């Protein structure tokens, strides 16, 4: 029995196999990351198919992969017949939400092959703090979805090769950058980062030797007038196709929304590429309504945010926490709020202060609405780093944001800074601390 891939958008595609329909990471409309990203190709041509899906695999909680408004396109009365596949997490936030709105759910154990239906199995593995990749086995067909995962160690690649007995029919992987890279006047930084992602894709091809490679998870653009400059050096699918062709070890497959491809067959990429070129040429920033935030409310939110962050520090290792907090946090971040000409000085352990005008030692320039979002959600700093709606005075200024984001993600994941956590995540923590030397 053949396996068919039907393209949806961005990181989402359908797999049709022996009467079963699976879809990955559905985000089909609207802005995400606090009005930071939109889809390059706006189309609803595959919605009808989405309504008949049997399984939905979600890689992680970022809104371009887990998008509740898209999930709610499926009528309530049908959701019980649709199973959400998501890796086990301590907070169970995704699983609990999907249950609440009526879906069936199946939690996937990391590092275990699990049968989801007769002759269809998933091997799901976590990557980093939030992400995951999956091996889909559909009878004898192997589909490897690495989506956003950054795999830097060869041991993981060797593990994948062992799991699939050296055979990958289809590899799908990200081909473009997906976070803030430099200020508007630093295009060379973005050019270098774009090359890094294309080179990473080719490295995966060379190590895994897939028969076919589908570049994906990069069909979005920075859509706000504050971040539209980020599109200037973004990698395009035709660049990814050209590099795969030049490498010669795998056949590139490029699909446009609603395109269908039977795994193993030939595909003419030119039609899809021409459509994408047309869409890219039409891109322009969206005019979002952005209201300034009340300064007193911002100060209050900032202090409440600090209180939530301090809860992650376990009292059982006070000395270690004191040392760690002083390293991974910072004396303060100076946020210059351009719309209200005010500098807000934020520190985890001290009260928030404000001062009219731009301070000489400012760190981050942004709209007060973005800062309100940052303080409202534990993942707010991470959202800001992804949506690029800010400017920075230095690398160290951005490094402060990364350290703050790390603490926020711990709160979001319901983690405690304890001895086991330090032992388990020592390498990640050191990487966060050292990231200041690599940040743009």
pLDDT tens, position by position, 369-392: 999 999 999 999 999 999 999 999
Find the mean pLDDT for residues 15-43.
Answer: 97
Whether the Cβ atoms of residue 153 and residue 145 lie closer than 8 Å to each other: no
* Residue 55 CB neighbours (<10 A): 20
Whether the Cβ atoms of residue 40 and residue 283 lie closer than 8 Å to each other: yes
Rounded Cα distance, 283 and 290, in Å: 20
Q: What does the pLDDT read at residue 438?
A: 46
Q: What are the pLDDT digits (tens) for 112-160?
A: 999 999 899 999 999 877 889 999 999 999 999 999 998 888 899 999 9
Among residues 198, 235, 185, the alpha carbon closest in space to that of 40 is found at 235
Among residues 417, 419, 426, the alpha carbon closest in space to that of 314 is found at 417
Q: What are the pLDDT digits (tens) for 154-168?
A: 899 999 999 999 999
Cβ neighbours of residue 254 closer than 8 Å, sequence gap 6 or more:
214, 215, 237, 238, 240, 241, 267, 269, 272, 273, 276
Q: What does the pLDDT read at residue 313?
A: 66
**Longest Cα–Cα distance in the chain:** 69
For the chain, domain boundaries:
3-281, 295-437
Kindly report the pTM of this predicted structure.
Answer: 0.92
Whether the Cβ atoms of residue 333 and residue 350 lie closer than 8 Å to each other: no
Dihedral, 302, 321, 329, 402 alpha carbons, nearest 10: -100
Q: What does the pLDDT read at residue 431?
A: 53
Q: Report the b/e string of 167-182 with b at 16+ CB within 10 A.
A: ebbbbbbbbbbbebbb
Q: Report the b/e string of 315-337 with b at 16+ CB within 10 A.
A: eebeeebeebbeebbbebbbbbb
Q: What does the pLDDT read at residue 317?
A: 46
C-alpha radius of gyration, the chain, whole number: 22
pLDDT band for position 309 (cuts 50, 70, 90): confident
Residue 68 has pLDDT above 50, yes or no: yes
Whether the Cβ atoms of residue 314 and residue 418 lie closer than 8 Å to each other: yes
Q: What are the pLDDT digits (tens) for 177-212?
A: 999 999 999 999 999 999 999 999 999 999 999 999
What CATH number is given for 3-281 in this structure? 3.60.15.10
The residues pairing with 251 across neighbouring beta strands, listed in sequence order, are 212
Find the mean pLDDT for residues 90-110.
Answer: 95
Find the mean pLDDT for residues 403-418.
Answer: 78
Q: What does the pLDDT read at residue 342?
A: 98
- Mean pLDDT over all residues of the chain? 91
């Amino acid at each position: 029995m053949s396996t068919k891939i039907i393209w949806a958008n961005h990181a989402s595609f359908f797999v049709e196999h022996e009467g079963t329909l699976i879809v990955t990471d559905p985000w089909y409309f609207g802005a995400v990351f606090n009005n930071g990203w939109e889809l390059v190709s706006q189309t609803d041509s595959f919605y009808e198919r989405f309504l008949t899906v049997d399984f939905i695999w979600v890689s992680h909680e970022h809104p371009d992969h887990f998008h509740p408004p898209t999930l709610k396109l499926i009528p309530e009365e049908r959701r019980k017949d649709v199973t959400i596949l998501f890796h086990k997490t301590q907070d169970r936030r995704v699983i609990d939400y999907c249950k609440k709105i009526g879906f069936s759910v199946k939690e996937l154990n990391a590092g275990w092959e699990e049968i989801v239906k007769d002759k269809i199995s998933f091997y799901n593995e976590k990557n980093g703090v939030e992400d995951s990749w999956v091996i889909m086995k559909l009878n004898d067909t192997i589909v490897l979805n690495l989506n956003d995962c950054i795999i830097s160690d060869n041991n993981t690649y060797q593990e994948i090769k062992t799991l699939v007995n050296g055979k990958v029919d289809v590899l799908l992987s990200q081909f473009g950058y997906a976070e803030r890279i430099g200020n508007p006047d630093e295009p060379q930084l973005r050019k270098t980062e774009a090359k890094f992602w294309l080179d990473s894709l080719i490295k995966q091809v060379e190590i895994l030797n897939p028969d076919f490679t589908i570049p994906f998870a990069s069909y979005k653009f920075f859509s706000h007038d504050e971040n539209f400059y980020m599109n200037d050096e973004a990698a395009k699918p035709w660049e990814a196709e050209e590099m795969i062709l030049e490498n010669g070890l795998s056949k590139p497959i490029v699909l446009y929304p609603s395109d269908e491809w039977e795994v193993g067959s030939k595909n003419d990429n030119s039609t899809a590429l021409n459509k994408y070129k047309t869409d890219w040429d039409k891109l322009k920033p969206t005019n979002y309504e952005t209201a300034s935030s009340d300064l007193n409310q911002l100060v209050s939110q900032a202090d409440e945010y600090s209180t939530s962050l301090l809860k992650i520090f376990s009292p059982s290792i006070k000395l270690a926490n004191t040392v760690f907090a002083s390293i991974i946090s910072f004396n303060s971040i100076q946020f210059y709020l351009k719309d209200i000409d005010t500098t807000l000085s934020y520190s985890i352990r001290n009260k928030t202060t404000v001062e009219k005008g731009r301070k000489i030692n400012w760190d981050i320039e942004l709209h007060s609405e973005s800062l309100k979002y940052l303080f409202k959600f534990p993942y707010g700093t991470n959202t800001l780093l992804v949506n690029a709606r800010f400017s920075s005075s230095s690398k160290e200024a951005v490094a402060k944001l990364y350290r703050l984001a790390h603490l926020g993600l711990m709160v979001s994941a319901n983690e405690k800074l304890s001895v086991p956590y330090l032992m388990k995540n020592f390498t990640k923590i050191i990487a966060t601390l050292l990231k200041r030397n690599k940040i743009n």
